[in-house]
Amino acid sequence: MKTAVYPGTFDPVTNGHIDIIERALKLFDKLYILVGENPQKATTFSAEERVEMLKQALKKHNNKIEVEHFDGLLLNYVRKKKSNVIVRGLRAISDFEFEFQRAQFNREFAKDIETIFIMTKDDYAFLSSSIIKEIAMFGGSVKGFVPAIVEKKLKEKFVK
């Protein structure tokens, strides 16, 4: 069985993430979606909320995915799942440097684990969780850019 781990903060999940997940599902039998923490910034949604939004948005792929929060080193999670592939999404060249550094770092510590990159559909190339939150915060519409459950949660969070 071919498996892979897709790690991210998913604060919140966008259609860009979903696009990467659905592309990865064509390549792997099982995808472990790791909801992690970003040491650089506090998240808007709790770990439980981020996991729940992903689960709801990915209901139809239920038998091929597993979503869980993990607050530790990515490589340890990959080993725990007995996988050897990390999936990351690429939007624009601006993502490259950061991803390149992380992939090289991970390779240094785990020669048997490979990072692969999937390019998003160009409609989502400019999409990020932070842009989504900014739009929602100022009362704009995020329809078409996030799953319905996320649209709802953003309204609850930002529309007073």
Residue 41 a catalytic site member: yes
Q: Is 91 tagged catalytic?
A: yes
The answer to whether residues 54 and 21 touch, using CB atoms and an 8 Å cutoff, is: no
Please indicate whether residue 133 is annotated as part of the active site.
Answer: no
What is the CA angle 127-130-135, rounded to 5? 80
Per this entry, what is the length of the chain?
Answer: 160
Nearest alpha-carbon partner for 14 in 128, 99, 122: 128
Nearest approach, Cβ of 80 to ligand ADP (angstroms)? 18
Give the DSSP H/E element, type plus range, for residue 8.
strand 3-8
- Residue of 50, 83, 88, 91 marked active site: 91
Contacting residue, 8, 33, 85, 115, with ligand ADP by CB under 6 A:
8
From the list 8-16, 61-69, 73-81, 146-154, the region that binds ligand ADP by CB under 6 A is 8-16
The CA-to-CA distance between both ends of the chain, in Å, stands at: 47
Q: Smallest distance, Å, CB 124 to ligand ADP?
A: 4
**Distance from C-alpha of 69 to C-alpha of 19, rounded to nearest angstrom:** 20
Instruction: Please indicate whether residue 23 is annotated as part of the active site.
Output: no
Eight-class DSSP state of 29: S
| Size of residue set near ligand ADP by CB under 6 A | 17
Half-sphere exposure of 123 (CA within 13 A, CB side): 10
Residue 32 beta carbon to ligand ADP: minimum distance, rounded to whole angstroms: 14
For the segment 88-127, give every residue that binds ligand ADP (CB under 6 A).
88-89, 91, 95, 120, 124, 127
Positions touching ligand ADP (CB under 6 A) are 8-10, 14, 16-17, 20, 38, 88-89, 91, 95, 120, 124, 127-129
Residues identified as active-site: 17, 41, 91, 129
